[in-house]
Amino acid sequence: MNIAQDWIGRAWQSEDQITARRAAEFRATLGPQHCAGEASPCLQWCLCPDILEPSQLGRDGHPRKGLVLPDLGLARRMWAGGKITSHQGLFAGEQITRSTTLRDLRYKEGRSGRLGFVELEHRYSCADELRIEEVQTIVYREDPSDDEPPNVPARAEDWPKAESRAVLPTSTMLFRYSAMTFNGHRIHYDHPYATGVEGYGGLVVHGPLQATWMMHLACDIMGRVPAQFSYRGLSPLICDRPAMIEARPAAGGLELRLREVEANIVTMSATAS
């Protein structure tokens, strides 16, 4: 058995407080993309980060593999997707406990090589009240090779009746979101590393930030926080490339996507109900 399989079933807890400053930083970073109302959906991704000393970090700025999450023998890490069940919002002044369980770990063969998937379950509570349940999937990949076939995403289909918002991700926006989430992943701020080591076309927009944009558009359209919100990463969104956050009616709720305008490709999709 792979040693990493021993991680399945491991559970741990962490605590954090939603300060007024953190809530204000979140709203300021989202700016016009923040939904109306007092709730700040997806604020939980700014809570309970892994806090390690520099000596405990890997080459990518994340905690070294094998400390917080298992070492799958694969170099690159990205958010693959997830599902959020919202029972009630999170608000400034509250003390939050996050309980995490590593539910699954599996390997697959992709067109660019071996992939490793880690599935985490997070439960966010205030006192004894469960506020948010989340299943998060992280994907690990091999380093790019010179003979790796280029990934050419399919062009987005036309959504003629979609509600939409324009967004231009900038390096300042990415830096502030990284700081607010204590995310040291170098693909979001270190251009030479992102392009020269991990093979991206520029700085990469955070997966959770893209999901947050779609969640907040869904909130404004539906007039409430969706009880269920599922999202899936499809292609990297690169900094300084204009994008559209789009939504259209679907059975039981909304279908949403993040579309990079110039290339007309979908970088993340979601459903809300």
CB 203 within 8 A of CB 194: yes
pTM: 0.94
pLDDT at 148: 64
* Degrees to nearest 5, angle at CA 248 with 87 and 132: 15
Handedness of CA 230, 16, 174, 185 (dihedral sign): negative
- 159 within 8 A of 71, measured Cβ to Cβ: no
Q: Note the pLDDT of residue 66.
A: 87
Whether residue 80 has pLDDT greater than 60: yes
168-185: per-residue pLDDT in tens? 999 999 999 999 999 999
218, 221, 225, 231 alpha-carbon torsion, rounded to 10°: -10
Per-residue pLDDT tens digits for 118-166:
999 999 999 999 999 999 999 999 888 766 666 778 898 999 888 999 9
> pLDDT value at position 4?
76
Q: Residue 37 — pLDDT band, cuts 50, 70, 90?
A: confident
Q: Band of the pLDDT at 67, cuts 50, 70, 90?
A: confident
Closest C-alpha among 239, 222, 242, 218 to residue 230: 218
- The beta strands (E) that lie in the chain are given as 11-17, 76-86, 95-110, 113-126, 129-141, 163-167, 228-233, 243-250, 253-260, 265-272
**How much is the pLDDT for 136?**
97
Q: Which residue has the higher pLDDT, 132 or 37?
A: 132
Q: List 115's β-bridge partners, or say none.
A: 108, 141
- CATH level 2 (architecture), domain 8-272: Roll (3.10)
- Mean pLDDT (the chain) is 93
How many CA atoms lie within 13 Å of 216's alpha carbon, on the beta-carbon side?
25
Is the pLDDT at 197 greater than 70? The verdict is yes
Buried b (16+ CB within 10 A) or exposed e, 191-212: eebbbebbbbebbbbbbbbbbb
Q: Supply the pLDDT for residue 241.
A: 98
Instruction: Specify the pLDDT at position 143.
Output: 86
133, two tokens:
């349940």
Per-residue pLDDT reduced to its tens digit, 209-247? 999 999 999 999 999 999 999 999 999 999 999 999 999
With 70 as the cut, is the pLDDT of residue 203 above it?
yes
- The arithmetic mean of pLDDT across residues 178-201, rounded, is 96
In angstroms, rounded to a whole number, what is the distance separating the alpha carbons of residues 197 and 117? 21
Confidence of residue 1 (pLDDT cuts 50, 70, 90): very low
